[in-house]
Amino acid sequence: MTQTLDKNQAKDRLDFRKIAPSEIYIPQGIEVDQKEVEKYTEILKKRGAIPDIIITADNTLVEGINELRAAIDTSQKFILARIKPGQGIKNSSNFIEIEVSKLNPHPLQKQIYGDEGDIKESKVFQAIAETGDIEPITVVCDRENPGFYRIIKGHTRTKSAIALGMLTIRAYIAEYANQQEEDEAFLSSNTTREETNEQKARRAAAWWEIIEEKNQQRIKAGKADGQNTRTRDEVGKLVGWSGFTAANAVKVIQELPTLPATEAEEVRQKLNKSVDAAHKAIAPSKSPKSPKQKAWKPEIFEKVRIIRGAHDGKRGEIRGISGSYCLVWLEGESLNSRHNLPIYELAPIAEENPVQNSAEGEIAQKAKELGLKNGKQILPDKQRNEGFNPKEISAVPASHTGLYSPADIAIALLNLKPEQISYALALALPDMSREQIEALDNALSKNWSKVA
């Protein structure tokens, strides 16, 4: 029996598009529900299909983030996505003709892909030369060069058009809220091209920086959701590697600028053959017979020097510690700026006359002055504050006054022992205003029930 379609059914059929999941751009702010992802993963395994994923005509996700994530996690090469009517690019009237002389490559293009050689050898060039057809590219207005445009998607097509003597090319002008969103769009639009390991590693490094920045933005905004997904695992999924391999590849890319030219080239050649081999090549040599040295443990407010990576040679100060990363304020930058840097990129700065930078250090010093042996008991059996002037002693170095946000201070408090907190309050209370003391009392009363 032959099946017939009415007009509405035919229209629905035309609204579908066969597309690789990696070609769908996910706008910033769309959250993934891991339980839903697991549900759709099971549906996909059993039925071989998932509910509709809705996109705009320019492949931007509208609905179906959990379904899309399930398709990516199960390595689906293609899916059927529905084009939402009235969204995105509906016809050629939404495109404009742009002079190729007014197009600039995206900054990440050179950083990741470099000089890719003779464009005439590419399959894209050969297809355009044969048919004369070029799929419209995606651009954004170049804020740094008014009147010019920066390419988000379509660098190879643009080069091909120029090589073929074309003066203009059709383009869709996109808009993004900020540079981070623009960079995400660029990285998301370059997932189907053939890449060397080095190019893939550089794309992973760019994603790593974006994801770390987004994590810090969520923390500052108080929106941390408690998910335990590691940055390396997120980056791995985005570039098609395991989290472990992605992390090692990023380390290699970060280390390359610090190596002599000849050694750097050798590491690049190893990287394009094997990420593991390149990572082993940059690992510091070990001497089993050398005496063991105590590993450096960074501390809040400790001054450091950056010894590798993008900020190599700069000095700064640790404002927060999370696992193997530190939040670092760099000298010369805004007091509110922070950079999330791995500990292996940092080295402590030795001071000839170190200033006590923690309550623990002050306790030890005061205990010594009072003739106590181990500093466990700091206050003798006297009236509180007798024998020392709180104005002369500070739990934070005087040079730091005014440089710390409430978040910095909160992080520092979490690293103090109960006796250190008690001592810090003893120092602070005499100089606190009535309003400050009332605020402290209210805060303690409000939270007492939570810990009682």
Question: So what's the pLDDT on residue 174?
Answer: 87
Q: Looking at mean pLDDT, say which of 191-195, 263-267, 377-381, 442-446 comes out highest.
A: 263-267
My answer on whether 134 and 218 are in the same domain is: no
For residues 204 and 190, membership in a common domain is answered with no
pLDDT of res. 308: 77
Max avg pLDDT among 50-54, 190-194, 248-252:
248-252
* Interval 178-205 mean pLDDT: 88
129 and 187 belong to one structural domain: yes
CA distance linking residue 216 with residue 210, whole number of Å:
10
- Total structural domains in the chain? 5
Convert 283-316 to b/e letters by CB count within 10 Å (16 or more is b): eeeeeeeeeeeeeeeebbbbbbbbebbebeebeb
pLDDT at 286 over 90: no
Q: pLDDT at position 363, please?
A: 54
What integer is the mean pLDDT of 123-131? Answer: 91
Q: Are residues 319 and 394 in the same domain?
A: no
Specify if 113 maps to a domain: yes
- Do 374 and 388 lie in a common domain? yes
**Does residue 216 sit in the same domain as residue 271?**
yes
pLDDT in tens, 134-167: 889 999 988 778 889 999 999 999 999 999 999 9
Residue 432 or 275, more confident: 275
Q: Cα(306)–Cα(343) distance, rounded to whole angstroms?
A: 9
Please report the DSSP string for 40-97 in residue order. HHHHHHHHS--S-EEE-TTSBEEE-HHHHHHHHHTT-S-EEEEEPTTSS--SGGG-EE
Contact 69, 32 (CB under 8 A): yes
- Based on the fold, state whether residues 122 and 145 are members of the same structural domain: yes
Per-residue pLDDT, 53: 86
Query: pLDDT digits over 33-56, tens only?
Result: 888 888 888 887 777 666 678 887
What does the block give as tokens for 329? 């304020």
pLDDT at 155: 93
> Does 289 reside within a domain?
no
Which of 59, 83, 107 finishes a domain?
83
Could you tell me if 319 and 301 are in contact, meaning their C-beta atoms sit under 8 angstroms apart?
Answer: yes
Is residue 236 one of the residues assigned to a domain?
yes
- The CA-atom distances, in angstroms, between 38 and each of 42, 123, 243, 382 are 6, 38, 19, 63
CB-based burial, 216-238: b 16+ in 10 Å, e otherwise: beebeeeeeeeeeeebbebbbbb
Query: Quick one: pLDDT at residue 249?
Result: 95
Quick one: CA torsion of 418, 421, 422, 425, rounded to 10 degrees? -160
Taking residues 263-270, report their average pLDDT.
Answer: 94
Same domain, residue pair 54 and 124: no
| Structure confidence at residue 368 as a pLDDT band (50, 70, 90) | low
**410-439 average pLDDT score:** 73
Give domain status of residue 117, yes or no.
yes
Lowest mean pLDDT among 9-23, 233-247, 249-263, 391-405: 391-405
More confident residue, 127 or 194: 127
Q: Which domain holds residue 119?
A: 92-194
Average pLDDT score over residue span 65-77: 85
Average pLDDT value for the chain: 76
**290 vs 447, more confident:** 447
Percent of the chain with pLDDT over 90: 23
Query: Is 337 inside any structural domain?
Result: yes
Q: How far apart are the C-alpha atoms of 53 and 64, rounded to whole Å?
A: 5
Instruction: Judge whether 34 and 228 are in contact, CB under 8 Å.
Output: no
pLDDT given for residue 340 in this prediction: 84
Between residues 203 and 19, which one has the greater pLDDT?
203
Share of the chain above pLDDT 70, in %: 71
Q: Is residue 1 part of a domain?
A: no
Q: Would you state the pLDDT for residue 384?
A: 45
Report yes or no on 43 lying in a domain: yes
pLDDT at residue 138 in the model:
92
| pLDDT value of position 89 | 38
What is residue 319's predicted lDDT score, i.e. its pLDDT? 86
Same domain? For 423 and 385 the reply is yes
On the question of pLDDT at 105 being above 90, the answer is yes
| 205 shares its domain with 186 | no
Residues 238 and 183 placed together within one structural domain of the fold = no
Last residue of a domain, one of 83, 106, 133: 83
CATH number at residue 72: 3.90.1530.10
Are residues 97 and 188 located together in one domain of the fold?
A: yes
Looking at the predicted structure, is the pLDDT value of residue 11 above 70?
Answer: no
Does residue 316 lie within any of the structural domains? yes
**What local confidence, expressed as pLDDT, does residue 373 receive?**
47
